[in-house]
Homo-oligomer: A and B are copies of this chain.
Amino acid sequence: MATKTYQIGVEATMEVIGGKWKSIILCHLRQQPMRTSELERAIPQISQKMLVQQLRELEAANVIKRHVYQEVPPHVDYQLTDYGQSLSSVLHSLCVWGESNIDRRREQGEDIDLLHRDDL
């Protein structure tokens, strides 16, 4: 079997949280468990297909856990695993830097808006 080789740690991190949607999903789940429909509302630009696909990949990477409530209509939520919690400070710093980036660009005259700041 071939050995998988990384040059530098960040490569492995980006396999887990990289891509257009994963870090956004994780930042939301960092604050509280959320069900599919809540995530759809929190991330209005995402398609249902991408949301489900990204959730499956995050589950496979063991950073989130899918919890099914035995109810009708169906009720499912997603939350960080303990391992996913270990990403919490990384995710927080990603949010905070983005906020400062937005502030800076706004000061330079860009017409730019941020709806939710990360408070925790």
Residues of A bordering B, CB below 8 Å: 1-14, 16, 18-20, 23-24, 27-28, 42-44, 83, 86-87, 89-91, 93-102, 104, 110-118
C-alpha spacing A96/B93, complex, angstroms: 13
Asked if B16 contacts A18 (CB within 8 A), the reply is no
Asked if B115 contacts A9 (CB within 8 A), the reply is no
Q: A90-B97, A94-B13 are in contact. Are A118 and B8 (CB under 8 A)?
A: yes
Asked if B7 contacts A111 (CB within 8 A), the reply is no
C-alpha spacing A4/B5, complex, angstroms: 39
| Among B4, B93, B113, B115, contact of A90 (Cβ-Cβ < 8 Å) | B93
Asked if A115 contacts B27 (CB within 8 A), the reply is no
Asked if A9 contacts B114 (CB within 8 A), the reply is yes
Q: A1-B111, A93-B89, A93-B90 are in contact. Are A7 and B98 (CB under 8 A)?
A: no
